[in-house]
């Protein structure tokens, strides 16, 4: 495919604008002791049709032309957006193993059980009681929408809360270890559920390819649901049981020319291979990349350097562009529903914080410690945004609920950062 000079110009202008605004606002938010990801999303929001498109519509179309005027530019941005998501999930998976601690397990187990199960069940109950069908996307898949709704209530952010802990200098504290251990287990569970929901609404292209098509599952929703639940759980179990051994064998294979030439290239090939296997099985590529990161995290020693290289470049280019595009998709003037947002925000925060607090107190944590753990685990950050973007792209939710979920992730992350910073500055113990 050959791009015209005009299309190349549009693409470069769009990428430059997203990078400059995203990184600049990320630096501002970091200075304010807030998660940089919030600045990246806000930068995309300011560049979107609801702000930049209203203030300077002609200039907006020069930087971000419509899909009809420049389909190639839209296609390339979509590809970078998808690659940013895959690298974000891969890097999140790489962090999983290092997040587990051997002590404070009792609190972590109690918090995981109550902080995941109770909000998820409350989400299902609220869905059945109030039936927010008006927020459903074009796919009109009620079971998938129910799963996304319940996940949105229960999710916790590993990347954002760990970044907050690092910025505040409390990453090595018992509270941080307990929160990260619980968040790791919780997010693995919820990503499996999200993968099942996404697999249930595969479009025509997905349905016409891979194992689901070979088994003739298209048009058979009952068998499709059984298959997608089983294949996602089976993929995760097999990958975690056999994946590390296969990875180590491939890494040590004497004829592995790619690894000898570039360890970074070898890791990226592993990411792509796992993602392609997931796609063939009818599993969302996001989950394949996440599991690939968890498997690759088993390597140690000198292999840490290529992982850091991937992280550095990903978070310099692909991931900021991904989050900026997440914000770019938001049109507050058209999609923001204040009453629904306030109701969902209050409900999700109250249920999540209360359930985590109950679990921490049951594990005999102090009231202050339990409250701090509850606030920390209410930060939805990156995973909350991934859920929103993936469910919206899969047409499970509409633009209004997408906006609600992104704003929920942003505000809860800001609240967690502000509260933990306040506790540290006041000199009070975290636990």
- Amino acid 159: pLDDT: 65
Residue 130, token pair as written in the block: 């109030």
Per-residue pLDDT of the chain in tens (431 residues, 90 and over written 9) = 577 888 888 889 999 999 999 999 999 988 887 778 888 888 998 998 888 988 998 899 888 887 777 778 788 888 998 898 899 888 878 866 555 555 567 888 899 899 999 999 999 999 988 888 788 988 888 989 999 999 999 988 766 776 677 667 786 788 887 887 788 778 778 888 888 888 778 644 344 468 877 887 766 666 777 887 888 889 989 998 998 888 888 877 776 677 667 888 888 999 999 999 998 988 878 888 888 988 888 765 445 677 888 888 998 999 889 889 988 988 887 888 899 999 999 999 999 999 999 999 998 899 999 999 999 999 887 778 888 888 998 899 999 999 999 999 989 988 988 898 889 888 888 88
Distance CA 167, CA 421 (A): 9
Enumerate the domain spans of the chain. Answer: 5-426
| Residue pair 370/360 in contact by the 8 Å Cβ criterion | yes
CATH 3.90.930.12 is held by the domain 5-426: no
d(CA 119, CA 182): 14
CA-CA distance, 204 to 189, in Å (whole number)? 27
pLDDT at 344: 95
| Confidence at residue 126, expressed as pLDDT on a 0 to 100 scale | 92
Cα angle: 312, vertex 316, 319; to 5 degrees:
100
pLDDT at position 424 is 87
Beta bridge partners of 136: 397
pLDDT, position 301: 45
Instruction: Give DSSP secondary structure letters for 95-154.
Output: HHHHH--SSSHHHHHHHHHHHHHHHHHHHHHHHHHH--GGGB-TT--HHHHHHHHHHHHH
Nearest alpha-carbon partner for 37 in 410, 379, 331: 410
| Number of C-beta neighbours around residue 398 at 10 A | 18
Q: Are 30 and 39 in contact (CB under 8 A)?
A: yes
Specify the pLDDT at position 302. Answer: 45
Q: What is the dihedral of CA 114, 119, 120, 126, to 10 degrees?
A: 150
């Amino acid at each position: 495919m050959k791009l015209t000079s005009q299309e190349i110009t549009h693409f470069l202008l769009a990428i430059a604008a997203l990078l400059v605004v995203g990184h600049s606002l990320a630096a501002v938010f970091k200075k304010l002791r807030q998660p940089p990801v919030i600045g990246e999303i806000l930068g995309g929001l300011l560049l979107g049709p609801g702000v930049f498109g209203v203030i300077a519509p002609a200039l907006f179309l020069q930087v971000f032309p419509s899909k009809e005027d420049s389909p190639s530019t839209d296609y390339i941005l979509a590809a970078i957006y998808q690659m940013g998501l895959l690298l974000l999930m891969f890097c999140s998976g790489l962090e999983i193993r290092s997040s587990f601690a051997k002590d404070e397990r009792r609190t972590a187990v109690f918090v995981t059980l109550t902080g995941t199960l109770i909000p998820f069940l409350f989400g299902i109950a609220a869905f059945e009681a109030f039936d927010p069908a008006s927020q459903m996307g074009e796919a009109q898949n009620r079971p998938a929408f129910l799963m996304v709704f319940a996940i949105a209530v229960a999710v916790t952010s590993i990347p954002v809360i760990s970044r907050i802990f690092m910025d505040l200098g409390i990453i090595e504290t018992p509270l941080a270890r307990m929160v990260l251990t619980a968040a790791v287990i919780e997010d693995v569970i919820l990503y499996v559920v999200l993968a099942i929901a996404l697999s249930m609404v595969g479009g025509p292209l997905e349905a016409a390819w891979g194992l689901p098509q070979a088994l003739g599952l298209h048009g058979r929703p009952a068998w499709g649901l059984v298959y997608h639940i089983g294949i996602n759980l089976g993929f995760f179990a097999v990958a975690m049981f056999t994946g590390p051994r296969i990875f180590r064998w491939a890494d040590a294979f004497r004829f592995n020319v790619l690894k000898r030439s570039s360890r970074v290239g070898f890791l990226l090939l592993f990411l792509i291979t796992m993602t392609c296997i997931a796609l063939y099985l009818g599993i969302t590529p996001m989950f394949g990349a996440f599991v690939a990161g968890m498997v690759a995290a088993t390597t140690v020693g000198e292999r840490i350097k290529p992982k850091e290289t991937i992280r550095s470049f990903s978070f310099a280019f692909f991931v900021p562009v991904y989050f900026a595009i997440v914000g770019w998709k938001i049109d507050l003037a058209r999609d923001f529903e204040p009453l629904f947002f306030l109701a969902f925000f209050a409900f999700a925060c109250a249920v999540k914080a209360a359930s985590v607090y109950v679990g921490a107190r049951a594990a005999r944590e102090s009231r202050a410690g339990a409250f701090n753990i509850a606030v920390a685990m209410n930060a939805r950050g990156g995973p909350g945004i991934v859920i929103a973007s993936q469910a919206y792209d899969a047409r499970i939710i509409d633009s209004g609920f997408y906006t609600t979920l992104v704003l929920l992730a942003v505000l809860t992350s800001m609240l967690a950062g502000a509260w933990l910073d306040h506790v540290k500055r006041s000199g009070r113990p975290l636990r």
